[in-house]
Structure 1
Amino acid sequence: MAERLNGKVAVVTGAANGIGQGCARLFAAEGAQVIGVDRAECDLLDEAAVEALFARIGAEHGRIDILLNAAAFAIFEWIEAMRYADWRTTLSGELDIVFLATRAAWPWLKASGRGSVINFASANARHALEGSPALAHCAGKGGVLAMTRQLAMEGAPHGIRANSIAPGFIRTAATDRHLAADPAFAAKVLGKNMIQRLGEPEDIGWCAVWLASDEARYVTGADIAVDAGATAW
């Protein structure tokens, strides 16, 4: 089903690598006009810069139909060692970065009449991350999950759908470093997976394509686990 996103304008944050890059490539392959945004183009925590960026994108392309918020960053530390500054940095990198881009895109998504916002929650929005100092990260992803549901309610009268994807372990440049540093890590991940392989960015990208397409026109406020069944048992 080629060109499932034909005629749509998609903005993808965090598009330079990892899941964001995988989603951007599939969006383009399915016919979307993709505008990739990453730190090199814009500081997504600079309110004025984000507003200016989306105003420029909207003016140049005449519309924004899809916003995929893949950009995020977090500091992992146990509560006893975590500085308040690191806590605030993580919540900014998980929550503010989604809020600012979504608010800036909102008028264009409304004008589209068929807007789709796709955010990234995590299993860690619902479960503790066993053996990992992920307190701030879990709080941030829980916030994304709640924010997405609220956006779905606020967007519904304007034809805007808002959904989140909760990825399992996905191989990226960042996670490959963990695999290289700890040979037992892959086995630990696979021990939780029903499907016995590690995920790739495209595994998330195909879900994002569906959520962005008119095939998902009746889907909003949903959180979809794409995690090889890791959270299903």
Structure 2
Amino acid sequence: MTNILEQFKLDEKVAIVTGGAMGLGKAMATALAQAGSNIVIADINKEIADETAKEISDNENVEAIAIKVDVTNPEDVNQMVEAVVKQFKKIDILVNNAGMTINAKAEEMSFEDWNKVINLNLNGIFLVAQSVGRVMIKQGYGSIINTSSMSGLIANKPQEQCSYNASKAGVIMLTKSLAMEWSKYNIKVNTIAPGYMKTELTKPFFDQGGEMIKDWMGFTPMGRPGTPNELGGIVVYLASDASSFAQGSVFTIDGGYTAL
């Protein structure tokens, strides 16, 4: 029987992390690198992606590169995947993480804003999974980790964000569907569903406080937001051989929010 700690090692693996330049994506990319994986930071912001790739490469003793990609553009996505395969000859892991939110009342939200959220959060997830999936099917193995949200399981309060909630629920069902289709190719497809996380973007809201933050934390049994590094363990687990029987599953990391 293989030592359990050995199963978590990702030495010589190749992982793409979309939206990996900062926030949750950067934290997950760093965790994968610490487990031994080479990293591709795929992000629309090339300047920050370059900085993140250099930081990971310098600190974690792995190869890390940055590639600019618009995940809503099929041609862009395919070119990114081709570039990764050309350089590394394979893709072992995909962390499909790029996303956004627009808070707007359902009765007032413009169709343009609705489409922006759905296009990035759901269509982008599909396009990258499809392109990387083709490579993994040829390889006969791989692990895809989609970033959903607890918002794909519940409707948040008090903020109005119907497009975000709908997109993340779609990611969960897409994950299950791909797991059903691609199990025969030895490809794992799972999704993580984070709760409220304190990132560069949300830190000002948490620091300022107010009624909304009181509501958020009041519904969170642990009484605090998560931090990006607290997603590292689950991502390494799902990327590694330790999760060999995990398939089509939703892993909530939300401080207990959805347990209520």
- Choose from 107, 111, 122 the match for 1:80: 107
**CA apart distance, 1:4:** 1.4
- Which amino acid counterpart does residue 6 of structure 1 have in structure 2? D
Q: TM-score, normalised by structure 1?
A: 0.95
C-alpha distance in 2 between matches for 1:185 and 1:137: 17
Q: Which amino acid in structure 2 is aligned with residue 187 of structure 1?
A: K
Decide which of 136, 140, 145 is 1:118's aligned counterpart.
Answer: 145
Contact 1:63–1:111 (CA under 8 A) maintained in structure 2: no
Q: Distance in 1 between matches of 2:103 and 2:223?
A: 27
Specify the code of the residue in structure 1 equivalent to 2:71.
Answer: L
Deviates more, 1:185-194 or 1:201-210: 185-194
8 Å contact from structure 1 (residues 55, 104) kept in 2: no
Please state how far the C-alpha of 1:126 moved relative to its aligned partner: 1.8
Does structure 2 retain, via aligned residues, the 8 Å contact 1:179–1:185?
Answer: no
| Residue 63 of structure 2: aligned partner | none
SS at 1:173's partner residue? coil
Which residue number corresponds to residue 21 of structure 1? 26
Q: CA deviation at 1:181?
A: 4.3
Deviation at residue 25 of structure 1 after TM alignment? 0.3
Aligned residues: 233
Give the match for residue 37 of structure 1: 42
For 1:137, the equivalent position in structure 2 comes to 164
**C-alpha distance in 1, partners of 2:95/2:214?**
31
Alpha-carbon shift at residue 174 of structure 1 (Å): 1.2
Q: Which amino acid aligns with 1:12?
A: V
State the identity as a percent.
30
Q: CA deviation at 1:185?
A: 4.2
8 Å Cα contact 1:12/1:69 also seen in 2: yes
Partner of 1:231: helix, strand, or coil?
helix
Contact 1:65 1:108 in 2 (8 A): no
2-structure distance, mates of 1:47, 1:70: 16
Q: 1:82-231, aligned counterparts within 5 Å? A: 82-231=109-258
Following superposition, the deviation at residue 66 of structure 1 comes to 0.4
How big is the shift at 1:184?
Answer: 4.3
Amino acid at match of 1:64: I
Report if aligned partners of 2:144, 2:188 keep a CA contact under 8 Å in 1. Answer: yes
Q: Deviations over 1:115-149 (max 9, x none)?
A: 11101122211211111111101110011010000
In the alignment, what sits opposite 2:259?
232
Alpha-carbon distance in 1 for matches of 2:214, 2:84: 43
Give the Å deviation of 1:189. Answer: 2.8
Letter in 2 for 1:37: A
Q: Measure the CA separation in 1 of the matches of 2:222 and 2:239.
A: 25
- Provide the C-alpha distance between the structure 2 equivalents of 1:165 and 1:135, rounded to a whole number of angstroms: 20
TM-score, normalising length: structure 2:
0.85
Amino acid at match of 1:38: D
Q: CA deviation at 1:59?
A: 1.7
Instruction: Tell me the CA shift for residue 190 of structure 1.
Output: 2.6
Query: What do the CA deviations read for 1:178-231 (whole angstroms, capped 9, x no partner)?
Result: 224444444333322222432111111211110110000100100011111111
Return the offset for 1:51. 0.5
Write the distance in 1 (CA, Å) between the matches of 2:179 and 2:228. 25
Aligned 8 A contact 1:22 1:205 in 2: yes
Letter in 1 for 2:196: F
Q: Secondary structure at the match of 2:258?
A: coil
**Match status 1:71 vs 2:76:** no
Are the aligned partners of 1:152 and 1:162 in contact in 2 as well (CA < 8 Å)?
A: yes
Name the Cα RMSD after superposition.
1.5
